[in-house]
Amino acid sequence: MIRPVLAVVLNTYREVVRNKILYAILFYTVLLVLTGHFFADVSLNQERRIIFDIGVGLISLFSVALCIFAGTSVIYKEIEKKTIFLIVPRSISRGQFLLGKWGGLFLAMTVVVTAMFLILLVQVKMLKIPLDVALFKGVLLVYFEVALLIALALFLSSFTSPAITAMLTIGFFVIGRLLPDLKQILFTKYQADGFRTVAEELLNVFPHFYLYVPNGHDFNGHTLSLTTDFVTWSYVGWAFLYTILMCSLILIVAAGVFRRRDLA
C-alpha cells in the first residue's frame, strides 16, 4: 500500500521539478534583493520590519502562484497522456493516487519554500538584522498554507478542467483570505439573523487561508504582525492541526469524486 503511493510521490516530484518550477527561487532572489534593499534604505530605522514582511510575503506569494500553476494541471496531464491508465488499474486506488499526487506536490513546494527561506536568512544576515523566532513561525505557516492549497487544487482538478480549476482555486483562496472581513460585513450590513447565520455557516466551509497570513488575523480575529506581537507556538500548533484536518477532509472528498469520474 505504501510503496505505490511513494512511487507516485517521487514521480510527481520529478515531474514538477522538470517543469522548471525551481526558477521561482531565482525570481524570488532577485525580487528580495531589489525590493528588500531599496525599502530598507528608504525606511526610517524600520529595516527589520521591511525585510521580514517583504521576505515572508514574497515566499507566500510565490508559493501560492506555484501551487495553483502545478496543482491545477497535474491530474489533467496524467489523463491527457493516458499514463493514468497504467497506474490506477494496478495495485493503487484512485484515492491513493491522489494522496501520492498531494505528497509529490508538497515535497516539491517544500524544497522551493525552504530554498527561498534560506535566501531570506542570508539577506537578513547581510543586513546585520537580528533574527527573530517570529520569522520561523511565519514560514511554518506558509508550509501549512501550501499543504492546504494543494489539497484544494487537487480536489477541484478531480472533476474539472485545468482552466476552471485555476479560477476556482484562486476564488477559494481569495475568499479564504478575506473571511474575517466578509464576516464583519455580514455582521454590520445585514440585520436578518437567519440570513446572517446561514451566510456565516457557509463561509465557515471555506478553507481559512487568512490563518496563514504573516500580517493578518488569528483564530479570534486579532491582528498579527511579524514584528510586533506575533502568534504563539500554541497558535502554530492549532494551525497545524487545522491544516491536517482540512487536508484530510478535502482529499477524502476528492477521492470519492475522482472514483466516479469517467477517465475515458
The answer on pLDDT for 34 being more than 90 is no
Find how far residue 32's CA is from the centre of its chain: 20
User: Which is more confidently placed, 28 or 236?
Assistant: 236
Q: How far is CA 50 from CA 104, 132, 141, 170, 197, in A?
A: 33, 14, 19, 27, 39
The answer on pLDDT for 249 being more than 60 is yes
* Phi, psi for 223 (deg, rounded to 5): -75, 135
pLDDT at 46: 67
| In the block, residue with C-alpha cell 478553507 | 207
With a cut of 90, say whether residue 138 has pLDDT above it: no
What percent of the chain clears pLDDT 90, i.e. is strictly above it? 24
Instruction: Say which range, 223-227, 249-253, 256-260, has the weakest mean pLDDT.
Output: 223-227
How deeply is 160 buried, as exposed, middle or buried, from its count of CB atoms within 10 A (0-12, 13-18, 19+)? middle
Average pLDDT over residues 121-143: 86
Buried b / exposed e across 56-77, counting CB within 10 Å, b at 16+? bbbbbebbbebbbbbbbbbbbe
In this prediction, residue 39 has a pLDDT band, given cuts at 50, 70 and 90, of low
d(CA 32, CA 18): 24
Residue 233 has pLDDT above 90, yes or no: no
Domain ranges of the chain: 2-259
Q: Report how far residue 96's alpha carbon sits from residue 177's, in angstroms, rounded to the nearest whole number.
A: 30
Contact 241, 222 (CB under 8 A): no
* DSSP-based three-state secondary structure for 217: strand
At 253, the pLDDT band (50, 70, 90 cuts) reads very high
pLDDT of residue 252: 94
Q: What is the pLDDT of residue 144?
A: 96
Q: Is residue 137 very low, low, confident or very high in pLDDT (cuts 50, 70, 90)?
A: confident
